[in-house]
Structure 1
């Protein structure tokens, strides 16, 4: 007889049907509440199933103790990003994504006595050391909620917080339950938004609410569910697909411990899940988006002190504003990602990724010069049915005050009847000055190939897959990692422990002037198949300031501008877009 709890869980877990009758907000919240209530029932069912091997269960019970909870969950800190920095000699974080990854304690030794938030400064609360906090002191957080580390709460001497009672609730000796969530509000003002020919501006507001429940049976079985509600108000242009997702499931998965390999656990994860790997140039949660990015499928993962190994098969989720999201049956994404951790300062990523995309092509500006030329010549058969494979590797590290990173990516496969051959490179050198204000300076170069000959039967435009381009190629999101040269520099300062200032400069050129300019989402914005519009896209600047108000509160203020070069000016005369934004973020 099937458990009714299991039935409820599986219906939400698969989320493959459109919940057409559940359209109102109260009903959808009720479904989510029933799902949360059904989590323990599924765990009990799974536990009853495992009891068929009585000897194994009895052995596990005899070996489990209260001290083992200090290792649960076996979270994975956010991978060391690009434009990282060695910990400064003085207090503070040296890059934005270093700051976001602050849960990796080996990167950030105790910087000493001082104020660690605006509230500390106002109240005169001088701390002897950096407070233990699982969340980064920054308004953006690419790390998934299920990898936030609250294990310090097992220490009875930890610093107390108002939300401790909803964290790591022990249900007897074998069960652990946690709740958490976040809320943000962002105001956006865009001038010449999206390079539109009319030069229209766009003022609007974004809000996002997330809530999650996390249930563990020892370290053997985990059930994790995360709700999201993302809304947009008052836009002058049509909202983007990443702006809205009304009352839906962001993460919904089960982890099962298969066993131990060399004393380290091997897990299988089934269900809806976020993915984040390496520098995030190819696979990211895309936290800047109001909706975040998520997938559905299967992942196995194994970690020890030297190696992280992940293998997965997933499909991207299609965001459907007014209905429950469904996975994209026309896209399959699988891969193998390995990270070798030589030591805390030197890492190597090696990976193979494959994206099979069977979506039909329905227009000319879809990412390839061949499509434009075929249409211009009157051919009615549009290209589609692509199978693109990516081989890549990355070296990242530091030596004394010198910082370095290099990542190379090569792609091959088929796009309809055309051969794919494309590549991308990201390189950079940084320097930690170890002086007042903690300045860190990076000089970098990014390249992604484009298609220069639409008649040669090849596709040479790099496919950026599922990236966090916002951080690397400019916060205005008009430049993607496709057909682009980007010469850029970044300066980060920390005038206070609770203040982060970042400035970026970019000079953009098309890798091939007969291919398109692609935005951060991989959408082709402008193109000139003759190449007569030139290759200089423009010059971009980005400034942002983050104020860490208190443990749960951050405020981010930013300004970005793109000064058009001859390529944009020849197609959109007088268009010079800019972006101003203010964001407040709360987490618990």
Structure 2
């Protein structure tokens, strides 16, 4: 159960913040004119870190649908889309087989209804989801399948006049939300809805937000239980786990740097469902990102320290990511070239009283690898990426490609997704080496008509010593490479009937 007394303390904190804020001067038109800005928010620009909007991008306000933004129908948000992805996975190293060919068809449907404005301060939303897989070679799992269930269903108290506006004139709204919800935070590596995956991360509990992206500062507070996805039955909250977070955003100097400090906590009570393992993991993190004036260079740096206990062992783990990119602004295709390095610690010694494996919480794995092999634990992952865009007959085409390398941070700890994640994904002796492999990937995205998004991708993974040795240990042979090809089509029904004036 969530500790509701924490919520009372939080409300006291907000009241203090509000009293302090009333003493600040509200607006400086001089600053506004000087900077010629209407928002403090500047997107990081780093690869794969852009958060999904709230509500999500497939949702439209009814005034947009009927083509009259000045109408009084702006109190209703609606969304309905379906996504189909055809995949070919050749020698998928996540499977227990060394050699395989799998041709799954993944189907994902979402429907959304949201009420805003008309009953303020009371607002609410509900989102239904249905995720299925056909033609798969392997048993169904809750990464691909979660038949008709509720993704979000929450009520909200929304206030936009409690706190003074920022110096650019933007309101600083505050909301308190309770119910089932899904969200993305920070750079999505630790808290994400996981849009690529066929099923969605979601939670039940309280969420409070002070401010919005446009503001110079913003705070987010989470007190949640993760939702356990059941393939065929109704999803239920995991009452044995409590996830909480405090996340700050400082954008006062966003033309140079945006600062995002945060604290995350995961408390797990021992139960039969989790193997009678108790955990109490705390994370302190700091993200810094920005653009270097008008040079075309941007950066995104994060450092995280974890402490607490993991099944009676002392938790001592670390993670860090760093990316620097350069965008060629004066060229037609505006290419961006970037270099990235990511590190998440692994357990050094399975026989001591210390756990060094980084806890990845509820993050988005795809930025680590296009084939979904790599997650944010026990990994060293350098990569280079190239992104550019062009127009073909008035259709914007976005292309990104890259080359990636992967090593275990500690060769005595596991490679989580290898061989089904059960046996032979860890060598306690360390004699299997640490080099996992390297891969090339590319992706093309375009919208041929306004209601249809197309996403085509390919990834080629070359296995190295650790993967090969563990495949040999289990199957007596190894695959030297693996391929992943996909075609994804997303159909937005409301874009089809949307009127324009």
Partner residue of 1:358 out of 269, 275, 278: 269
Partner residue of 2:164 out of 249, 262, 271: 262
Gaps of 5+ in 2: 1-38, 166-171, 472-476, 495-501
Distance in 1, matches of 2:313 and 2:90, equals 39
Change (3 A) 1:383 1:516: farther
Note if contact 2:40-2:254 (Cα within 8 Å) is conserved in structure 1. no
Note if contact 2:88-2:104 (Cα within 8 Å) is conserved in structure 1. yes
The aligned runs of 1:303-318 (5 Å cut-off) are 303=211, 305-318=215-228
Change (3 A) 1:177 1:508: same
Alignment match, 1:285: 193
The aligned runs of 1:146-161 (5 Å cut-off) are none
Change (3 A) 1:330 1:412: same
Alignment match, 2:455: 556
Note if contact 2:417-2:425 (Cα within 8 Å) is conserved in structure 1. no
Deviation at 1:261, TM superposition (A): 2.4
Distance in 1, matches of 2:95 and 2:110, equals 32
User: Could you say what secondary structure the match of 1:527 adopts?
Assistant: coil
Alignment match, 2:290: 397
Are 1:214 and 2:114 matched, yes or no?
Answer: yes
Alignment match, 1:386: 279
Are 1:241 and 2:142 matched, yes or no?
Answer: yes
Instruction: Tell me the alpha carbon deviations over residues 446-471 of structure 1, each in whole angstroms, 9 at most, x when there is no partner.
Output: 00111111222000000111111212
Instruction: Tell me the alpha carbon deviations over residues 105-155 of structure 1, each in whole angstroms, 9 at most, x when there is no partner.
Output: xxxxxxxxxxxxxxxxxxxxxxxxxxxxxxxxxxxxx4343577857x87x
Note if contact 2:60-2:79 (Cα within 8 Å) is conserved in structure 1. no
Alignment match, 1:375: none
Partner residue of 2:359 out of 435, 439, 463: 463
More strand by share: 2
Deviation at 1:500, TM superposition (A): 0.8
Change (3 A) 1:469 1:359: farther
Are 1:503 and 2:401 matched, yes or no?
Answer: yes
Instruction: Tell me the alpha carbon deviations over residues 248-284 of structure 1, each in whole angstroms, 9 at most, x when there is no partner.
Output: 1111011113661235332100101112111111101
Gaps of 5+ in 1: 1-75, 86-94, 102-141, 155-160, 364-381
Change (3 A) 1:563 1:361: farther
Are 1:164 and 2:66 matched, yes or no?
Answer: yes
Alignment match, 2:482: 577
Distance in 1, matches of 2:489 and 2:40, equals 24
Partner residue of 1:294 out of 202, 214, 219: 202
The aligned runs of 1:51-90 (5 Å cut-off) are 80=43, 84=45
Change (3 A) 1:563 1:359: farther
Deviation at 1:331, TM superposition (A): 1.0
Alignment match, 1:252: 153
User: Could you say what secondary structure the match of 1:495 adopts?
Assistant: strand
Note if contact 1:79-1:278 (Cα within 8 Å) is conserved in structure 2. no
TM-score normalised by structure 1 residue count: 0.68
Deviation at 1:425, TM superposition (A): 0.3
User: Could you say what secondary structure the match of 2:104 adopts?
Assistant: strand
Change (3 A) 1:289 1:209: same
Change (3 A) 1:310 1:413: same
Deviation at 1:243, TM superposition (A): 1.0
Partner residue of 1:189 out of 76, 88, 94: 88
Change (3 A) 1:425 1:326: same
Q: How many residues align structurally?
A: 429
Change (3 A) 1:548 1:527: same
Distance in 1, matches of 2:40 and 2:349, equals 43
User: Could you say what secondary structure the match of 2:306 adopts?
Assistant: strand
CA RMSD of aligned residues (A): 2.7
Deviation at 1:416, TM superposition (A): 2.1
Are 1:340 and 2:227 matched, yes or no?
Answer: no
